Chains A and B, each alone.
Chain A
């Protein structure tokens, strides 16, 4: 029998809305705290989720963050409609960024997003199509 998710929550993300940026990650973090997940694990999920949310706000037109808790791991999927990533290998390198200057003024856009997600999660998968969008799947083992 296939394992069933213990929890499933989705939050819409609006591209370019820097005022709301981080709210979805905040809700996901609180949901994990409420069910008693270990604080160190919660932090790792929160960092990955927040970087992924910022990526959507910075680069995409719209998107969605989905948290699913499985019996052995936590999965966060950041799915967006956006420009996609034309060179994924470059995007995974620390310091490479296509973000505009106004994003740098907010403390982001230094080419640390995907590398930070990779560091904080146990598994990272990026599926992207130029002109269509990107789906970032992060898994953190319980």
Chain B
């Protein structure tokens, strides 16, 4: 599945990373605790989180995570978008909760 497919499933707005929406995603990790995320595998992974500060992006960067989905309608601020741009990190916004987001992607075949 690609980030484009994920955006469609989650009815998500793409804020950054239009050019890399064909990136293939096989795994997802959902958490608001970045220290938990830092125990995750990174490659071919999308991060699902309700946290919207720049540490989310830094965490994703360290792990080579391929995209960030902000859930339950969280909006990123200017600083967040600026860094996402700099890191070339795709950012998707969905109004689904973290639980719903996980469920929808799991049902569509995204693995843990």
User: Chain A interface (Cβ within 8 Å of chain B)?
Assistant: 18-19, 21-22, 25-26, 29, 39, 43, 46-47, 49-51, 54, 106-108, 110, 112-113, 116, 119
Contacts and interface: CB of A to CB of B under 8 A. Distances in A.
B39 A50 contact: no
Interface string B35-56: 1111100110000010101111
14 contacts: A18-B53, A19-B79, A29-B62, A47-B62, A50-B58, A50-B62, A51-B35, A106-B55, A107-B32, A107-B33, A107-B53, A107-B56, A108-B34, A108-B35
A21 B58 contact: yes
Contacts of A50: 38, 58-59, 62
B64 interface: yes
Contacts of A43: 42, 62-64
For B32, B35, B43, B58, the residue with the greatest tally of chain A CB atoms inside 10 Å of its CB is B35
Contact of B59 (A18, A29, A107, A119): A107
Contacts of A39: 43, 64
A119 B35 contact: no
Contacts of A110: 33, 35-36
Please tell me the size bucket of the interface on B.
20 to 34
Interface of B: 32-39, 42-43, 49, 51, 53-56, 58-59, 61-64, 79
A112 B35 CA distance: 6
Given A39-B64, A51-B35, A112-B35, A25 B42 contact: no
A116 B32 CA distance: 16
A50 B38 CA distance: 9
Nearest to B42: A43
For B38, B43, B79, the residue with the greatest tally of chain A CB atoms inside 10 Å of its CB is B38
Contacts of B33: 107-108, 110, 112
Nearest to B57: A22
B64 A26 contact: no
B54 A22 contact: yes
Given A43-B42, A112-B35, A112-B36, A29 B54 contact: no
